[in-house]
Structure 1
Amino acid sequence: MSYADVIINNNSSRTEGPYTYAVPPELEGQLQPGDRVLVPFARRSTPVEAYVVQVMEELETPIKGLRKIASKDPEVSLTAEMLQTARWMEDRYFCRPIEALHCFAPAGAPSKRGKTRSPYKETPEPDEKKPLTEEQQDAFDQILPALEDGRHQVTVIHGVTGSGKTELYLQVIEACVQQGKKAILLVPEISLTPQTVQRFLSRFGPERVAVLHSKLSLGQRYDEWMRVRRGEVDIVVGARSAVFAPFENIGVIILDEEHEASYRSDSTPKYDAAEVAIERARYHGAAVLLGSATPSVGTSLLAEEGRFKRVFLHQRYNKNPLPEVTIADMRQELQEGNRTIFSRALFEEMEACLAEGKQVILFLNRRGYSGFLSCRSCGYVMKCPECGISLTYHKEQNRAVCHFCDRSFAVPETCPECGSTHIRHFGIGTEKVEEQVQQFFPGVTTARLDMDTARKKGSTETILKDFGKGKTQVLIGTQLVAKGLDFANVGLVGIVAADVSLNIPDFRAAERTFQLVTQAAGRSGRGDKQGKVVIQTYSPDHYAILAAAAQDYESFYRTELLLRKTLSYPPYSDLIQMVLAAEDENEARLAAEKVKLWLQKKLPESAAARILGPRQAPLVKAGGMYRFQLLLKVKPEEMEQTRKAMFRLKKKIAAEKEGVWLFTLDVNPYSYL
């Protein structure tokens, strides 16, 4: 008789396993690691789902009363590579084994239709292969050898907006498929990249491409998973979770706009799709391409250190120059009596652009917005002297609070820099911007693209289609409009309030601002004429604003890297966020304090000294529970000991509970709410 260790599909942290079962005679010789099975468990009246992680001919120590595996799923089985990557995810993201395995497993059950309907109803028109520019060809020639040799290589494609990165991806994937290998393309959000998806369906044919996204039903997702698993398709295009596509012979994984925060999962397991892609590719001897006009600081550092290869695309595909950028100093506008949302520069450029029959995009980053305090006269922003992070205004206490170290400060009546009384809480929304467009430009057609308007099914596609057809003259949006949109008739992009993203309470605030402004500006001038961009800001001298206006990535990168190193922020450390939640506020606070004391004894002394908090989380209460937060900066040499301590801590909390009903760990989170 043989035996199998399995991981039970169960939400409880007390049942991580593995659990040992006997293999029944009818399954003898048929089980292998990765198989999905049903097993009797605890006192359940029906068998539960589990995954085999090990098969043994005999046990080192006999176990009495072993129960037998009930049955095996004939269709679903995870590969050895998927199991290995899942184990890596457990270590990297402090998640439970079943949480990592869930990422690779198909959702739902087979659909009753028997055939998956394509989410793209229209038959795509053929997409002709375009000749590569000299720069594109040089990049292709540097990528191809690793692809042909089956050699793992990560290549950063640093290409300006409109440089033709998508055509390069298409031709790399074509070369990959010709070698009999499979390809995965990740895009930040499927609904915002219909043009990219359509090009892949057109170039390769819908029968060879699976499109994975959240709008598929559970049955459709299962069917698509099986199409991929059976090898019926060569290419998967999808958002973050498509990185887990069940291919067995991966040749290339591509992340378009690799800097995007949407590649980071905000639900457990809190994985980074770029890291998972690199880990999977390492096993397969596959290439990874990380494409962006604004690569993340961490990615560029790895390229600079020689751990990643890097190729550049300096010119737009149509040879058009990058847009002409103007910085509008909103302090000056206020001093001159202009209290509207629009600077004179933006107003005049909008008038001229609309008169020429061109379209306008107005960009306002409100996502992740948490009110900060700034001076309208000189641009001063209140920041924590210890953390260098913008303070958040709490109206109830009339205090400015640091969401990293929990220090709070009185709100000054006058600006500490210039003495002005114009120091106040900053806030503006897309609806207000749309109102003022309609007020100043009567008769102009407008549309908003933000999280509110995008909620309705199909609304994003409709808004973008209408804009593409010229039905809408002015598109007003949040960061959704900065993601890969390509409209030839856009002559002007106005960045209404660059300060909002610049002053969120996050060490990445400057990087996000530089990326968002550069990406938003890149939507302008994609046709046959040079576009224009107006950046409105109360901080016109900030290095991120100046670098974005000059399209100067290198100067931004050097300044930002030095600041990160000085303050020991990633990529020079890992930042671990711990959130403890309980129904009783005092219990949550006490639990967080206990965790800090416990960690101070178990962590390396240097790391223990860098525990920040506990403090109330910015999102104080969620799901009826009060939330408290601890932050820990961990240097590379401290990570192994820290990892062991974190796993022990998770088990300790699961065993003791003591009123704590939720404990989450997040490595390098993209949100600190």
Structure 2
Amino acid sequence: MNEAEQYLLEVVPLVTIPRPEAQILSYYCDHDPDINSLITVPFRNRSIPGLVLASTPVAQAKRMLKKDFSFSLKHTGKVISPTPVITLAQQNLAFWLASKYHAPLGPCFKNFLPNFIGKKKYPINLLPGTETKLTEPKKTFIPLTDTASHYKNYLSIIKKHPGQSVLLLVPETTHLDYFAQSYTTLKPEILHSGLNNQKIYDLQQKISAGQPTFVIATRLALTLPWQKLGLIIVDSESNPAYYSDTTPKYFAPDLARQLAKLHSAELIISDTLPRVETAYELDLSNWKLENGNWKIVDMVSEIKDANYSPFSTELKEQIQTSIAEKKKLVIFVPRKGYAPYLLCKKCGETVRCKNCDHTLVVHRNESGIKNQELNLICHHCENTEPITAVCPKCKGGILEYKGLGIQKAMEKLKVWLDRQNITAPPMLELSNDSATTRAEADKIINEFRANPSTILFTTQKIFSYLYLIKPDLIAILNADLLANFANWRADEEALHDLLTLTKMSEQTIIQSYHVDSTPIKTLAEGGVDQFIKNELANRQSLNYPPFCEIIKLVYRHRDPRKALQEARIVAEKIKNEVAKQKLTISVLGPVTGLREKGLFTQEIILKIKNAASAEATAGQRKERSNLLRLVGSQWRVSLD
């Protein structure tokens, strides 16, 4: 073969190549393929798809190197798609994902390719687009004030973008139903991963052709080949469903921000409470909370008045009224199961999972363990164990159920109603235990909506149906448990959940044993602006986002000594490199984390102060990437 007819290709194999190994590999080819076309390439004794990033004639490559060279490169395989399968904007986003989240490049590019790629039935015809300069978009925050009429907040803004495409991003498919029904006159396109290939293909072709389209979708829409995108709306920004649980593990609103920059699109962010990072980004430190119809009940005072029930006197009266007047009532319990833990009254030991260091949760028996009304379940590895009669540590103590789970709350309400000679209305449970699928959860919600005088007991699962129910009253039991996590976002997330629940009902009762806690006090005083200012001040002094980037390095091994040894070696390497390069990076650890699924955990935390400009941020990302090369492929790297 004549050298002039051969081309040196730079290819991204669409498989997971662990960092810090090379992510872009070189091959040679007998023809000049299009950039972003799809071919097969040999990789570790198998043939896999690869995306072409660059093509250079071999003769030219030699001249560029100014010397003759002998090389041993593998030949490419067949052509899957001779034309580009992604746009330049999508290529830009894939590189951004890999850089920001230190993710393998192959899955980042694969994230932008539909499942039907390469099939003759679905030919790809993309406008490749041109290199675009990142432009800071116009950004606005819109608070959620009423779940029933929330769609109206977006209506006028959407109509200001004729001739352009609009994306309304939602975290879950349950939210799609509400907006689709509310915007029927706008004829929106609905997109989520559950659609068949033909529907996804038709929408992709419509968007890539530049036809103005209004799309209501989950995070899948962020990977489309957008043209003429004028507006992006991120609804319920704090919803945890926006976090991708597969590689690349990213936060969808951050990707939406980058997409808006690439297309100079207006960006709307909405939530019941702005994330602290969003408040800083949009200068919302003076944001005020609208008054709502809620009441905070001090449960310590209830105990002093000899009420030892999990239901306050106020709530008992409201329950009786709701039953008498056939009203709908939601009782929110922050914990699943029957009781959060089993405690030894003698030595104070809590029963933990034999595979993990996590506390076992008491559940009603649904696992088939004979002669057991209750059993223990690990919420991390799903290990199930019977309840023993004596403490596994001291062998002599009596075990006692502690705390309030949703199943115990239901049981106690039934007992109290029976003592009051009140016929209990239908009671439903909505949690990840009672509804493991969307269909099961929908059935429970539909039953609640259809029947008067129904009491729905629920956990955080209710947030999936934020827009689809409007009960007369929501009662929150043990509200303090919402912030009872070792998490620097705990107060923010608890306040957000409390505010969201108040927006879902006509009236809310919030029961707390710690009314002076930050979330409860903020809600009682309406001082959200001061809460945001205090959070920002604390995070700046302690070096937390939005003033820094936090990277968590996790290593697991079945041998605790080997786990510790590996962690110490890597931590020392990182600290030496930080000192040598004089980097503004704090290195914390290693520290021993919780054992999980039989593996012992070691963690290292890196805190990197945010750069002052986009140029400095790019340089900082390069420094961070070089630093993380010291971390082996067995380590798990995650941000914030």
- Structure 1 segment 21-32 matched on structure 2, within 5 A: 21-25=27-31, 28=32, 31-32=34-35
Show the counterpart of 1:466: 447
Letter aligned with residue 203 of structure 1: T
Show the counterpart of 2:16: 11
The answer to whether structure 1 residue 211 and structure 2 residue 194 are counterparts is: no
Deviates more, 1:567-576 or 1:507-516: 567-576
| Structure-2 change in CA distance of 1:428 and 1:243 (3 Å) | farther
SS of aligned partner of 2:151:
helix
The answer to whether structure 1 residue 664 and structure 2 residue 614 are counterparts is: no
Letter aligned with residue 472 of structure 2: G
- Structure 1 segment 531-610 matched on structure 2, within 5 A: 532-603=507-578, 610=586
CA offsets, 1:536-569, max 9 Å, x none? Answer: 1111012321222454422322233233233222
Q: Is the 8 A contact 1:607 1:632 kept in 2?
A: no
Show the counterpart of 2:610: 636
Q: Is the 8 A contact 2:12 2:53 kept in 1?
A: yes
Q: Is the 8 A contact 1:111 1:219 kept in 2?
A: no
SS of aligned partner of 1:278:
helix
Q: CA deviation at 1:82?
A: 0.9
Corresponding residue to 2:282 among 298, 303, 324: 303
Letter aligned with residue 24 of structure 1: D
CA offsets, 1:590-623, max 9 Å, x none? Answer: 11111211111122599788433322333x224x
Task: Determine the C-alpha separation between the residues in 2 that align with 1:369 and 1:466.
Answer: 23
Task: Determine the C-alpha separation between the residues in 1 that align with 2:175 and 2:451.
Answer: 18
| Structure-2 change in CA distance of 1:466 and 1:75 (3 Å) | farther
| Structure-2 change in CA distance of 1:552 and 1:465 (3 Å) | farther
CA offsets, 1:294-347, max 9 Å, x none? Answer: 1101111111189xxx9x8987xxxxxx54222111222223332222111222
The answer to whether structure 1 residue 496 and structure 2 residue 496 are counterparts is: no
| Structure-2 change in CA distance of 1:6 and 1:431 (3 Å) | same
SS of aligned partner of 1:431:
helix
Q: Is the 8 A contact 1:108 1:221 kept in 2?
A: no
Task: Determine the C-alpha separation between the residues in 2 that align with 1:364 and 1:244.
Answer: 37
Q: CA deviation at 1:19?
A: 1.9
Identity of aligned residues (%): 23
Q: CA deviation at 1:462?
A: 1.9
Q: Is the 8 A contact 1:4 1:54 kept in 2?
A: yes
SS of aligned partner of 2:410:
helix
Show the counterpart of 2:255: 276
| Structure-2 change in CA distance of 1:280 and 1:458 (3 Å) | same
SS of aligned partner of 1:254:
strand
Show the counterpart of 2:324: 355
| Structure-2 change in CA distance of 1:664 and 1:218 (3 Å) | farther
| Structure-2 change in CA distance of 1:198 and 1:99 (3 Å) | same
Show the counterpart of 1:183: 166
Show the counterpart of 2:88: 80
Q: CA deviation at 1:8?
A: 0.7
Task: Determine the C-alpha separation between the residues in 2 that align with 1:85 and 1:109.
Answer: 19
Q: Is the 8 A contact 1:209 1:233 kept in 2?
A: no
Task: Determine the C-alpha separation between the residues in 2 that align with 1:613 and 1:432.
Answer: 40
- Structure 1 segment 285-364 matched on structure 2, within 5 A: 285-304=264-283, 323-364=292-333
Q: Larger C-alpha radius of gyration, 1 or 2?
A: 2
Show the counterpart of 1:246: 225
Show the counterpart of 1:173: 158
Task: Determine the C-alpha separation between the residues in 2 that align with 1:68 and 1:539.
Answer: 66
Q: TM-score, normalised by structure 2?
A: 0.77
SS of aligned partner of 1:248:
coil
Task: Determine the C-alpha separation between the residues in 2 that align with 1:436 and 1:369.
Answer: 11
Letter aligned with residue 209 of structure 1: E
Q: Is the 8 A contact 2:549 2:639 kept in 1?
A: yes
CA offsets, 1:338-391, max 9 Å, x none? Answer: 2222111222122223323321111222389997999xxxxxxxxxxxxxxxxx
| Structure-2 change in CA distance of 1:12 and 1:365 (3 Å) | same
Q: CA deviation at 1:78?
A: 0.9
Letter aligned with residue 321 of structure 2: A
Name structure 2 gaps, 5 residues minimum: 123-134, 344-356, 361-399, 418-422
Show the counterpart of 2:397: none
Show the counterpart of 1:145: none
Q: CA deviation at 1:506?
A: 0.4
Show the counterpart of 1:431: 407
SS of aligned partner of 2:433:
coil
Q: Is the 8 A contact 2:142 2:268 kept in 1?
A: yes
Q: CA deviation at 1:221?
A: 5.8
Task: Determine the C-alpha separation between the residues in 2 that align with 1:173 and 1:252.
Answer: 8
Task: Determine the C-alpha separation between the residues in 1 that align with 2:483 and 2:167.
Answer: 33
Q: Is the 8 A contact 1:165 1:291 kept in 2?
A: no
Q: CA deviation at 1:238?
A: 2.4
Structure 1 residue runs of 4+, over 6 Å off? 110-114, 217-220, 312-315, 367-374, 393-396, 605-609, 638-642
Q: How many residues align?
A: 554
The answer to whether structure 1 residue 36 and structure 2 residue 38 are counterparts is: yes
Q: Is the 8 A contact 1:577 1:665 kept in 2?
A: yes
Task: Determine the C-alpha separation between the residues in 1 that align with 2:438 and 2:151.
Answer: 27
Letter aligned with residue 56 of structure 1: T
Show the counterpart of 1:53: 53
Q: CA deviation at 1:509?
A: 0.8
Q: Is the 8 A contact 1:154 1:278 kept in 2?
A: no
Q: Is the 8 A contact 2:339 2:401 kept in 1?
A: no
Letter aligned with residue 300 of structure 1: A
Letter aligned with residue 52 of structure 2: V
The answer to whether structure 1 residue 95 and structure 2 residue 70 are counterparts is: no
Q: Is the 8 A contact 2:166 2:232 kept in 1?
A: yes
SS of aligned partner of 1:77:
coil
Corresponding residue to 1:456 among 427, 437, 440: 437
CA offsets, 1:413-468, max 9 Å, x none? Answer: xxxxxxxxxxx996322222222333334431122222223313411222222223
The answer to whether structure 1 residue 627 and structure 2 residue 580 are counterparts is: no
The answer to whether structure 1 residue 196 and structure 2 residue 176 are counterparts is: no
Deviates more, 1:459-468 or 1:282-291: 459-468
Task: Determine the C-alpha separation between the residues in 2 that align with 1:642 and 1:506.
Answer: 26
Name structure 1 gaps, 5 residues minimum: 115-149, 316-321, 375-392, 397-423, 526-531, 669-673
Deviates more, 1:181-190 or 1:437-446: 437-446
Q: Is the 8 A contact 1:184 1:235 kept in 2?
A: yes
Letter aligned with residue 34 of structure 2: L
SS of aligned partner of 2:596:
strand
| Structure-2 change in CA distance of 1:547 and 1:246 (3 Å) | same
CA offsets, 1:394-417, max 9 Å, x none? Answer: 779xxxxxxxxxxxxxxxxxxxxx
Deviates more, 1:363-372 or 1:450-459: 363-372
Q: CA deviation at 1:239?
A: 2.5
Q: CA deviation at 1:226?
A: 5.6
Deviates more, 1:67-76 or 1:89-98: 67-76
Q: CA deviation at 1:245?
A: 2.6
| Structure-2 change in CA distance of 1:314 and 1:336 (3 Å) | closer
Task: Determine the C-alpha separation between the residues in 2 that align with 1:369 and 1:549.
Answer: 30
